[in-house]
Structure 1
Amino acid sequence: MSDDHVYLTLAEEHEDDTRWAYGTGFEDPLHGVDTTVPDGVDRAALAGLCLALGDDALVAAQRLAEWTTRAPELEEEVALANIGLDLLGQARLLYARCGQVDGTGRGEDAYAYFRDPAGFRNVTLAELPNGDFAFSMVRLLVFASWRLAHLQRLTASPDPVLAAVAAKGVKELTYHRQYAAEWVVRLGDGTEESHRRTRAALRQVTPHLGELFTAYDAREEVVAVLRQVTDAAGVPLPAWTPGPGAGRRGVHTEHLAPLLAELQSVARAHPEASW
C-alpha cells in the first residue's frame, strides 16, 4: 500500500477539507457559542474531562516542541512544530473551559504552569521521551488516532463549548494522524534499519495502549486504524492488555517531572510577569 493510498483511505471522510490544517483555524472556534453550562451537566465531570484532555494536549505539545532544531529535515521540523501548536491551542481552550466550570475561576496559565506532576491527568503515553524519529511517529500515530476518536464523540457533547473545541480538534487531528501514518508506512516499508526501528517503537508504545481505552469505548475503531497502517508498513501490531488509567489518576512515569520543570521554569521564576 502506497503512502498516498493510506492518506486517501484515512482521510476520505474529510475529503472536503484542505489537506493541511497547519497555520489555519485563526477564527475563534467559540465565536457565537453560549458559554453557559447547560442544565443537567455535571460540572465536576465536565471540568475533569477538560482538564485531562488539556493535559494530554499540553504534554504532547511539549514533547513535539523538543524536535525543534533536531528533526531530520527542515520540513519535518516545521510540521512537528505546527502539530504541537495545534495541540497547544486545544489545551488552552480546554483549560479555559475548566476554569469556567470548576468553580475556581483559574486561567489557563494556572493549570499549565502551577501544578506539580501529581496534579496532571495526562495519559502516560504523552509523557514518554521522544526517542528516535520512528518512536515519535509511532507514538504520534497512536495518540492522534485515539484522540481523534475521542473528540469525534465529543462533538455531540451537551456542553456547547466542549463540542465546539472538539469540532475544531477533529479537523486538526485528522491531519496529525495522517502525517504520522505516512511516516510509519515510509519507515516500516523502508530500509532494513528503519523497519527495525519501527518495530522496536511499536513494542515500546503498545504497553501504554491499555490505558487509552479505559474511559470510553473506541478500542475497535482505533485498533482498526493502527492495523491498517502497520499492515501497510509491513510491521506487526503487538498485543497488549487493558490496564488501569494510571495517568488519569495522577500516577506518572519518572519522565513527566523533568518535562514539566522545563515547561514551567520561566513562569515559576516570574509568577506575576506579563508578556
Structure 2
Amino acid sequence: MSDGTAPERRTQATEPAERAASSASATSPASATDHGIDHDNAYAGLLVNDAHWAFGTDFEDPLAGVDTTVPDGVEPSVLAAYCLMLGDDALVASERISEWCSRAPDLEEDIALANIALDLLGQARLLLARAAAADTSVVPALPGDSPVPDEDRLAFFRDEQRFRNVRLAELPNGDFAETVTRILLLSTWRLALFERLTGSRDAVLAAVAAKGVKELTYHRDFAGRWFLTLAQGTDESRRRVTAALTDLMPYWPELFETHDVEAAAAASGTGVDPAQAAGEADAVLDQVLAVSGVDRPEYAPRAGVRGRTGRDGMHTEALGRMLAETQSVARAHPRGRW
C-alpha cells in the first residue's frame, strides 16, 4: 500500500545524496536469497533450529557485512553514547508518531504518518546497533539464553534514565496540528544534523546519515505543507497550529545545546555539534512561518532539572509512561523465542 508520496520522496534528494545513499544500502540486511530462504515454501523458515526472539520482525544483523571498526583516534564509548543519542531521538519520536495509526484525519495522512514513523524506526535500529557494536558495555545484560538482539535490548531493556533523547520527541501527542508542528521542528533540526553527518569519519554513521537525509527531507516537507495548510485554513485550524507552536517552541533551544558527548564526537570527526546547525535550522523554520503568515512566538526555554535535560537522562513523566507500555511484553518474556 502506498500513500502516493514515494515518488516525491525519491526525487527530492540531490545527486550527491543519491550516490551517498546507495552506499548506505550496505547497512540493510542481506537479501533472503543470499541466506537460502525458500520463498516457495512458507514453512521453510520454521524448520531452522536457530532460536529467534519471539517479538522481533527481522532476525538479521542490521549491520551484517559492514565494517564496524571504530576509526583511529575515536573513543568507542563516546561513539556509542553519541549513536544512542541520535538513535533514541528517532526511536521515541517513531513511537509517538506511530500512535496516530488509524487515528489520522484521513487514510492518506494515516499512511504518511506511518511511513514517517517507520523511517525513524529504521534509523533507530541502525544507530542502536552501531552503538552496541562500538561499545558492548552499553547493552543491557539479559539471561544467557535470551535470543534478544543488541538493538532490541537497548530499545526494550533500558530504564528511562538511560535514554538520551531530546524531550521534544517524548511529549504526549496532542491534536493533528500539534503533531505536524512537532514533526516540522524535529525534522528541520535533524535534517540539518544529518546533512553534516554525511561527512562523519565513521563509515556507518555517514551511511546512515546519507540515507536519512532523503527520509528527513520528506518528513520536513510533509510537515511544512501541512503547517501552511492549517495556518491558512479556517480560523480554528490556524488557532490550533499557532497554539501548538507556542507550546512546543520552549523545547526548541534544547535541540541546539551542545552536550559533552556531542562536543567530543564532533572533535573526533565522527559527530556534529548541534550548535553549528542552529542558524540553518532557524532560517528554515522562519521561512515556513513567513510563508504561513505566522509570527514566531515569544517563549522562555524549557528549563531542565539542575541544568540536566534529555541528553543527560532527565525526562518528562511522559517518557516513563510510554516506556512502561512499549517495554512491558518484552520485559515479561526476555527469553521469549520461537
Question: Residues 41 and 158 of structure 1 are in contact (CA less than 8 Å); yes or no, is this contact kept in structure 2?
Answer: no
For the pair 1:124 / 2:124, whether they are aligned, the reply is no
Paired residue for 2:284? 225
Letter in 2 for 1:225: V
Secondary structure at the residue paired with 1:218?
A: helix
Provide the C-alpha distance between the structure 2 equivalents of 1:56 and 1:205, rounded to a whole number of angstroms. 16
Provide the C-alpha distance between the structure 2 equivalents of 1:132 and 1:162, rounded to a whole number of angstroms. 34
Question: Residues 80 and 138 of structure 2 are in contact (CA less than 8 Å); yes or no, is this contact kept in structure 1?
Answer: no
Q: Structure 1 residues 120 and 69, CA, compared in 2 at 3 Å: closer, same or farther?
A: same
Paired residue for 1:237? 296
Question: Residues 141 and 177 of structure 1 are in contact (CA less than 8 Å); yes or no, is this contact kept in structure 2?
Answer: yes
Alignment map for 1:38-187 (pairs within 5 Å): 38-104=71-137, 106=139, 107-187=150-230
Which of 250, 263, 269 is the aligned partner of 2:326?
A: 263
Larger radius of gyration: 2
Provide the C-alpha distance between the structure 2 equivalents of 1:105 and 1:130, rounded to a whole number of angstroms. 29
Letter in 2 for 1:171: K
Letter in 2 for 1:141: L
Using the TM superposition, give the Cα deviation of residue 102 of structure 1 relative to its aligned residue in structure 2, in angstroms: 1.4
TM-score normalised to structure 2 length: 0.72
Provide the C-alpha distance between the structure 1 equivalents of 2:220 and 2:16, rounded to a whole number of angstroms. 15
Question: Residues 198 and 235 of structure 1 are in contact (CA less than 8 Å); yes or no, is this contact kept in structure 2?
Answer: no
Q: Structure 1 residues 70 and 17, CA, compared in 2 at 3 Å: closer, same or farther?
A: farther
Residue deviations 1:101-143, cap 9 Å, x none? Answer: 1133840011100011111100000001110000000000000
Letter in 2 for 1:229: V
Q: Structure 1 residues 195 and 178, CA, compared in 2 at 3 Å: closer, same or farther?
A: same
Unmatched runs of 5 consecutive residues or more in structure 1: 1-7, 19-24
Secondary structure at the residue paired with 2:317?
A: coil
Provide the C-alpha distance between the structure 1 equivalents of 2:256 and 2:25, rounded to a whole number of angstroms. 32
Provide the C-alpha distance between the structure 2 equivalents of 1:167 and 1:245, rounded to a whole number of angstroms. 31
TM-score normalised to structure 1 length: 0.88
Provide the alpha-carbon RMSD of the alignment. 2.5
Using the TM superposition, give the Cα deviation of residue 158 of structure 1 relative to its aligned residue in structure 2, in angstroms: 0.8
Identity %: 55
Provide the C-alpha distance between the structure 2 equivalents of 1:64 and 1:40, rounded to a whole number of angstroms. 38
Paired residue for 1:251? 314
Which of 197, 201, 206 is the aligned partner of 2:249?
A: 206
Question: Residues 113 and 268 of structure 1 are in contact (CA less than 8 Å); yes or no, is this contact kept in structure 2?
Answer: yes
Secondary structure at the residue paired with 1:99?
A: helix
Letter in 1 for 2:215: E
Question: Residues 41 and 159 of structure 1 are in contact (CA less than 8 Å); yes or no, is this contact kept in structure 2?
Answer: no
Provide the C-alpha distance between the structure 2 equivalents of 1:72 and 1:17, rounded to a whole number of angstroms. 36
Provide the C-alpha distance between the structure 2 equivalents of 1:27 and 1:212, rounded to a whole number of angstroms. 28
Aligned length: 261
Paired residue for 1:274? 337
Provide the C-alpha distance between the structure 2 equivalents of 1:222 and 1:245, rounded to a whole number of angstroms. 23
Paired residue for 2:44? none
**Farther off after superposition, 112-121 or 39-48:** 39-48
Q: Structure 1 residues 181 and 17, CA, compared in 2 at 3 Å: closer, same or farther?
A: farther
Provide the C-alpha distance between the structure 2 equivalents of 1:39 and 1:132, rounded to a whole number of angstroms. 47
Provide the C-alpha distance between the structure 2 equivalents of 1:173 and 1:37, rounded to a whole number of angstroms. 26
Letter in 2 for 1:128: L
Provide the C-alpha distance between the structure 2 equivalents of 1:222 and 1:239, rounded to a whole number of angstroms. 18
